[in-house]
Structure 1
């Protein structure tokens, strides 16, 4: 969440117990809290309340490379976690993005902010989202109670899996203090097939054909007239899959990017750096891939630019347009970078979903003090 409006009263507890005490005090008085990790996920300057940051609740609790499990306090910088995993040939398989360049902030992404936002990058189409690799959590609810759910391995997750509920709730149900994650081995080899001179409709046809094969596409994205397919794995497998994909698309112009170029390209696509360096509003839109070309064309009609990720399941729109106009085209659009746009960050939910969401908020945050209004459309 963004570090804008950081000048308000700030709380930076150094332990879970101290954090719980702060929340309990605000529950008693009814004072709101604006919960943030490193301030790098969405802009939340409009959220009322004193800032509560988890950045000082930091440190790796346990890492078992042989078991491929990691437990870390939520303020732990994400880059430190990734470096530690890389030293053992492992990674977070869902490829969490770093939106600092897009948001223009100077915060440091944390592992807790990653989970709170369910932050997932291009590899989501193959590996799943952040929540699919979450084993358990510890958190402080809106009354200041310390709760835990899940365990260190998948088989320990029984009953209601609260960790999946907290993942993607942006601090509105509880303040995460510790997360347990599943890790996976890093790919040994990688390459990208680039298809220049295509539009969104042609890109979607390429994605649909490639993703229907058994060749384990780990990235399918489009921007500025180029569609990209990424493949990763063991070197002999990679060569075979690359050849089969080239045969599948033999009627199209294809450029092959080597491993180094592939790493650079997909890091930039992951972080949406093609829409950095501007203050124009930036929207994140989840769609059915088959609807992506029509929605992308309609969004471009507002005067901005689009890119596709997740095989067409994710559209980024950067450009003008009031919130109502954007959401008339894309009802599930999330306003990641506000620019001059007024209105809520998250879209309005359907009545049944809103009733369910309100019931959950009353259960976990009965006084409504945690990021009030952030996820209410």
Structure 2
């Protein structure tokens, strides 16, 4: 087994060209924090980018940052915070959920898996903030897409095309992203005691108001005690995050309390505790139990999500909580992953997609981890793979068996 640890872009090109010459498939990783996501690979060789790290450009006044692919996200977030800025798409950290150390995710992994967090509805995901990339394709060729300004797209936007490719099309070597000012302050309104369907209606009302809610989530009564050291013990907690300048946050909080006065008891969690609460929602801390019990990430119509969960509970032991106003459901199954049941119910309740983000190696090898694509889209994906990696040497089978 060979582990390549390139320290220059040229060495990354050399590693890919060696793999091509030997017809030797390789696993591509940063620091390995998301290695347990996707289908298990059977490769003898690895290209690890952990040594290819560092910021290459940061212009706070221009709201732009470029860094090498192996640069830890935590390191970049610290740099941005020191300048009053942030990745407003709030990339999640899969480490705790996968029983790995936190803070090990890399910038390259952020793009490859298209990370985002509870602010998804307001700010989008990683792909919406990428300005440009430098990539080594599976042909062993270096190419550049995009640049360092927002309006810089001609022809195919390959910088965004690399998002959600899971390292199967090419190896990003340098990534340029748009950064934004961090909010001056934040507070979270917590509505207690709502059922899942009541919470769905309350979140929809809040998100549709002039309150400019940045994030909305619902933690059922059995999940709420698992965040911020049990401070939400007792009842379900419906969370509404407000951000911005302090006077505006205060005024919007008052307005929303009036709007939701009939929904239930409302209290506030502010600043530091609020930030910690949303980090724990983002990183799925309620299900970060050190086990391999199957965890699904389901994206679907917000007002239909609670129906999916209720139907699943009729036939299986399921824990669940809701982010993105209910549009993102995290499910933890006590037994088998129930892939067919989960996906059949998603189709029944308006459509969407489900990704199995945690399970044993044998389960991930046997099931379609990612939502199976319709035939025309699957054919397009194969053609795209053929264009970028015709020999199939980069993360083969990570997303779909045989591709």
**TM-score normalised to structure 1 length:** 0.94
- Give matches, 1:1-377, under 5 Å: 9-41=2-34, 42-44=36-38, 46-49=40-43, 50-106=45-101, 108-224=104-220, 225-252=236-263, 253-277=265-289, 278-301=291-314, 302-319=316-333, 320=335, 321-330=337-346, 332-339=353-360, 341=363, 342-376=366-400
The 3-state SS of whatever aligns with 2:96 is: helix
Aligned partners of 2:386, 2:105: CA distance in 1, in Å? 29
Kindly state the Cα deviation for residue 44 of structure 1 after the two structures are TM-superposed: 4.8
The 3-state SS of whatever aligns with 2:159 is: helix
Could you say which residue in structure 1 is the equivalent of 2:227?
Answer: none
Aligned partners of 2:124, 2:184: CA distance in 1, in Å? 20
Aligned partners of 2:312, 2:56: CA distance in 1, in Å? 45
The 3-state SS of whatever aligns with 2:116 is: coil
The 3-state SS of whatever aligns with 1:103 is: coil
Report the more deviating stretch, 237-246 or 218-227: 218-227
CA contact (8 A) 2:39 2:400 kept: no
Aligned partners of 1:51, 1:294: CA distance in 2, in Å? 43
Report the more deviating stretch, 173-182 or 273-282: 273-282
Aligned partners of 2:266, 2:358: CA distance in 1, in Å? 34
CA contact (8 A) 1:118 1:168 kept: yes
| RMSD of aligned alpha carbons | 1.6
Aligned partners of 1:11, 1:330: CA distance in 2, in Å? 41
Aligned partners of 1:368, 1:212: CA distance in 2, in Å? 46
The 3-state SS of whatever aligns with 1:215 is: coil
Aligned partners of 1:260, 1:222: CA distance in 2, in Å? 20
CA contact (8 A) 1:141 1:173 kept: yes
Runs of 4+ that moved beyond 4 A: none
Aligned partners of 2:122, 2:287: CA distance in 1, in Å? 25
- Closer, same or farther: CA 314–44 of 1 in aligned 2, 3 Å: closer
The 3-state SS of whatever aligns with 1:24 is: helix
The 3-state SS of whatever aligns with 2:52 is: coil
Aligned partners of 2:137, 2:88: CA distance in 1, in Å? 29
Report the more deviating stretch, 319-328 or 269-278: 319-328
Kindly state the Cα deviation for residue 330 of structure 1 after the two structures are TM-superposed: 3.6
Kindly state the Cα deviation for residue 325 of structure 1 after the two structures are TM-superposed: 3.1
Aligned partners of 1:40, 1:329: CA distance in 2, in Å? 31
Report the more deviating stretch, 41-50 or 363-372: 41-50
Report the more deviating stretch, 24-33 or 41-50: 41-50
Kindly state the Cα deviation for residue 45 of structure 1 after the two structures are TM-superposed: 6.8
**TM-score normalised to structure 2 length:** 0.88
Aligned partners of 1:74, 1:300: CA distance in 2, in Å? 41
Alignment deviations for residues 166-222 of structure 1 (CA, whole Å, 9 cap, x no partner): 011110111111100000001011101111112221111011111111222111111
Q: Which runs of 5+ in 2 are unaligned?
A: 221-235, 348-352
CA contact (8 A) 2:118 2:323 kept: yes
Kindly state the Cα deviation for residue 300 of structure 1 after the two structures are TM-superposed: 3.3
Aligned partners of 1:197, 1:87: CA distance in 2, in Å? 38
Kindly state the Cα deviation for residue 293 of structure 1 after the two structures are TM-superposed: 1.3
Kindly state the Cα deviation for residue 40 of structure 1 after the two structures are TM-superposed: 2.2
Aligned length in residues: 370
